[in-house]
Structures are given as structure tokens and as C-alpha cells.
Amino acid sequence: MSLPGASAMTSPGSLAAPGAAPDRGVDPVLEIRGLCVDYGFGDDAAHAVADCDLTLGRGRVLGLAGESGSGKSTLAMAAIRLLRSPGVITGGEVLFHPRPASDGEPATTLDLLAAGEQELRAIRWSEIAIVLQSALNALNPVSTIGAQFDELLATHRPGLGRASRRDRAGDLLELVGMTPDRLRSYPHEMSGGMRQRAMIAMALALDPQVMILDEPTTALDVVTQREILEELMGLRDRLGFAALFITHDLSLLVEFADDIAVMYAGRLMERAPAASLFRSPRLPYTYGLLHCFPPMHGERHRMDGIPGSPPDLRDLPPGCAFHPRCQWAIPRCRQDVPKLEPLTGSHREVACWLHRDNATAPPELMRPDPAVAQPRTAAVSDTSAERAV
Ligand SMILES: Nc1ncnc2c1ncn2[C@@H]1O[C@H](COP(=O)(O)OP(=O)(O)OP(=O)(O)O)[C@@H](O)[C@H]1O
Ligand code: SF4
Ligand SMILES: [Mg+2]
């Protein structure tokens, strides 16, 4: 894809001064700073997440994209301390900023990586809920949906009586488009879409401030997937939770996320408002990802994709880990690791030497950035048509 009339452009000093981060002005609910995660120890350790910074704004949807194995799930699971062995968190902090108390008193920020098990138990589900790809695995196959709601509510809302718990469970199912009689069903009696809806209802049961959605609809057909995501985003607007939405499918993120972060080989490589990332990617890897998906509309053209495959995380190439696959790599890319840094005059960050110092970026990576919308929160109503680009 090339822009009509565009020519190679030089981007001297295009990196902004520190402090001009795209997250400035966003009220953060979850801040991941310098997160590092390995699988295994010593020379054989796979560096699945390397020095990642990511901020989720209150009421916003942050999409996380990248090829399989890039570290998306590891980042999310480590951030909420649900990482399984042999995963080891080797550095960083994850700050959870609860909403202010009803009397306006600011709540105390908690570093989830330093928190004790008891503090974490109080926060998981109540404040930070998770929906994973496979509801069949997440739901208990030998309990009815009603019994699973009942257990969840009895544990976290001990003041609620049995009848109130049942009413609340029925209301939650209705919220996700199911009838309360489904409380009597076992997971195997429901379709994949219904199970996923039931999981979302359970995740919403305690009115969380953050939802982690790890490929929540990948296993479903495209029609059900879209229905569920549209409902989920409608609920986000009504209930005001923030969502970290992980998927391979950038086209979905463009439609449903406010901002998108792109991960490669354990590192965050680009982050931008969804429309900016989609229409004017600055990173060669993002450009390649966008050209892996055929457009729904417009003229047909050849899909180039990305040559080669992701590197072995135990033996990363020197410099930018993407350089063996990058059509625009320059000598510096083979030596130095680029850091994710803000770009001047935009609400975006990129880790790429082409946008640093006197490097020359190709026209494909210098398309004009569409107008950057003001941060959207749940309080601001917007339609999916307005979101779509
Ligand atoms: N239990 C494990 N033991 C060793 N390595 C692991 C383990 N789980 C994940 N990894 C490695 O960590 C890297 C990141 O995996 P992760 O599952 O986070 O990627 P992902 O981006 O979520 O991929 P996908 O899109 O396929 O879900 C992968 O290279 C994977 O091989
Ligand atoms: S730093 Fe170099 S290798 Fe990496 S994405 Fe940018 S141009 Fe390509
Ligand atoms: Mg994953």
C-alpha cells in the first residue's frame, strides 16, 4: 500500500521529549510498569515479557494485539498474578488505582506484584475480572450455572441472602441476553456463545472496575462473536468498567478499542489511538499485521503478510527482534534495541529506529495521522458506527 503522491519523508528528531506520553490526561485504573516475565531460569529462560509499560484508563478499552506467542496472555496473567509455573515475574510493578470512595476520599493504590494473597483475593473478581477464550474450561462442568453464580456471590457478597443471590444471577444473565431459566443448565447443555455470555455475566457479577478479556470470542463464529462484543461494549458504556481486550484480530480492535498496543517477541512496539494505528501505523510490524487481513470493503489487492516467523524467545536476534523479518530495517536495527517512546505531536508511542534521529521512514509509515479524538470514557456515549473507522 502506498499513498498517492507520498514520497520518502525524513523524521528528524521525531521522538517527543520524555513526559509527552500518550497516556497523559487519562485517569489510570491499571498501570503496568517495567513488567518482565520469564519462563524458566538462567540461560534457557524464555523472556516472554520484557520491560513492558502499559496504562489502562478508567472506562476505556485498550486492545492488545500481536502474533501467537508474542506474550499477550503472559503479560495479562502476570499483571493480575495468575501466571502459572514455570512463569516467573522478574521485575516491574502493576499499580491498581481503585475508584475513589463514595465520600470522595481517594482510595489507596495497590501494587499487585507486591500484594499478599489475601489482598489479591479481595481484588480478583470484585475489582478485576477475567474472561478467557474457553468458557468450557473456565466453567465447572459438574455444576449448574446457577450453582456457580451462587458460590461466587456467597463468597464475595456474604450479606446477600439466597433469594437475592438467585435474583442477582438472573438479572446478570438477562444483562448478557440470556433468560434466567438458564441458571438451571449445565455448561454442556449450552452453546459456545451462551457459555461465553454466562462467563461474561459472572465476570460482571461483582461490578468490577477492570475486565481482562483474553481472546473472549475467538472460538465462536463471526456473527456470535460480533453480537457478544457489541453487547459487551454496550455494557462497558453503561457500567463504566475498563477493559484490556486481547486478540489476534486487529480489525476487531479497530472497531471496539479506544487504543491499541502491539506486542512482538515480548515487547510492546507501538501504541496509538485505534484509528491512528489502523490508518497510519508507524511500525513496520504493525503495517505487516494490518496487511495480513483482507479489507471488508473497497478494492481487492494483494495481501503481503509478514515473511518468516516469530523468533525463539530464548535466543532473540540482537537489536530489534523484528529485524530479520523487517523490509525496512537499517543497520542500527541489527545492533540496538529500540525503546517504546512517544512521537512528537501525536498521542502515540513507537519502538522503531526509523522514527528516531535523522532516519528516513518510508511513505507507508508516514501516512497522515487522522484527527485524534479526545479520550472516551463510559460517561461519554458513542455509537459503534462512530467507533468504526
Ligand atoms: N507454560 C509455558 N512454559 C514455557 N513457555 C511458555 C509457557 N507458556 C507460554 N510460554 C511461552 O511464552 C511466550 C508467550 O506466550 P503467550 O501465551 O503469552 O503468547 P500469546 O501472545 O498470548 O499467544 P496466543 O496469541 O497464541 O495466545 C510463547 O513463546 C510461549 O512459547
Ligand atoms: S527498529 Fe528497525 S527492524 Fe525494528 S521495526 Fe523498526 S525498522 Fe524494522
Ligand atoms: Mg494468549
- For the ranges 26-40, 98-112, 245-259, 331-345, the lowest mean pLDDT is seen at 98-112
Residue nearest to atom 4 of ligand 2 (CA): 320
Q: Ligand 2 in contact with 329 (CB < 6 A)?
A: yes
Distance from C-alpha of 197 to C-alpha of 240, rounded to nearest angstrom? 18
| Amino acid, res. 304 | D
Average pLDDT, the chain: 85
- Max mean pLDDT among 164-173, 191-200, 228-237 falls in 164-173
Q: Ligand 2 in contact with 353 (CB < 6 A)?
A: yes
Shortest-distance atom of ligand 1 to CA 74: 18
Residue 360's pLDDT band, with cuts at 50, 70 and 90, is very high
Shortest-distance atom of ligand 1 to CA 70: 21
Pocket test for ligand 1, best of 37, 39, 263 (most atoms within 8 A of CB): 39
Using alpha carbons, select from 288, 292, 314 the residue that is nearest to residue 40.
314
In this predicted structure, the answer to whether residue 378 has a pLDDT above a threshold of 80 is: no
245 to each of 60, 78, 91, 259, how far by Cα in Å?
10, 15, 23, 10
Ligand nearest to the CA of 70: 1
Residues at CB less than 6 angstroms from ligand 1: 39, 46, 48, 66, 68-74, 86, 248, 313
Q: Which residues pair with 94 in a beta bridge?
A: 32
Residue nearest to atom 27 of ligand 1 (CA): 68
Q: Which residue has the higher pLDDT, 100 or 234?
A: 234
Distance 331 CA to ligand 2 centre (A): 10
Residue 219's pLDDT band, with cuts at 50, 70 and 90, is confident
Distance 282 CA to ligand 1 centre (A): 26
Helix pair 192-204, 145-156: axis angle to 10 deg: 10
How high is the pLDDT of residue 71?
97
Q: Ligand 2 in contact with 269 (CB < 6 A)?
A: no
Q: Name residues whose C-beta falls within 8 Å of residue 115's C-beta, 6 or more positions apart in sequence.
A: 81, 123
How high is the pLDDT of residue 221?
82
Q: Which residue has the higher pLDDT, 17 or 308?
A: 308
Shortest-distance atom of ligand 2 to CA 320: 4
Q: Which residue has the higher pLDDT, 250 or 23?
A: 250
In this predicted structure, the answer to whether residue 387 has a pLDDT above a threshold of 60 is: no
Residue 370's pLDDT band, with cuts at 50, 70 and 90, is confident
In this predicted structure, the answer to whether residue 389 has a pLDDT above a threshold of 50 is: no
Q: Ligand 2 in contact with 246 (CB < 6 A)?
A: no
Residue 303's pLDDT band, with cuts at 50, 70 and 90, is low
* Contacts made by residues 247-252, CB under 8 angstroms, sequence distance 24+: 247/63, 247/64, 247/65, 247/215, 247/218, 248/65, 248/66, 248/67, 248/68, 248/215, 248/218, 249/65, 249/218, 249/293, 250/63, 250/65, 250/278, 250/289, 250/290, 250/293, 251/293, 251/296, 252/63, 252/225
How high is the pLDDT of residue 384?
35
Alpha helices in 86-144 (DSSP H): 117-123, 135-138
Distance 272 CA to ligand 3 centre (A): 21
In this predicted structure, the answer to whether residue 224 has a pLDDT above a threshold of 90 is: no
pLDDT per residue as tens digits for the range 245-298: 999 888 889 889 999 999 999 999 999 999 999 999 999 999 999 987 665 555
Q: What is the mean pLDDT of residues 307-317?
A: 94
Q: Which residues pair with 37 in a beta bridge?
A: 49, 89
Q: What is the mean pLDDT of residues 304-329?
A: 93
In this predicted structure, the answer to whether residue 241 has a pLDDT above a threshold of 50 is: yes
- Phi and psi at residue 38, to the nearest 5°: -115, 155
pLDDT per residue as tens digits for the range 56-71: 999 999 999 999 999 9
Residue 302's pLDDT band, with cuts at 50, 70 and 90, is low
How high is the pLDDT of residue 154?
95
Residue nearest to atom 5 of ligand 1 (CA): 39
Shortest-distance atom of ligand 2 to CA 353: 1
Using alpha carbons, select from 96, 99, 87 the residue that is nearest to residue 114.
96
Reported pTM: 0.86
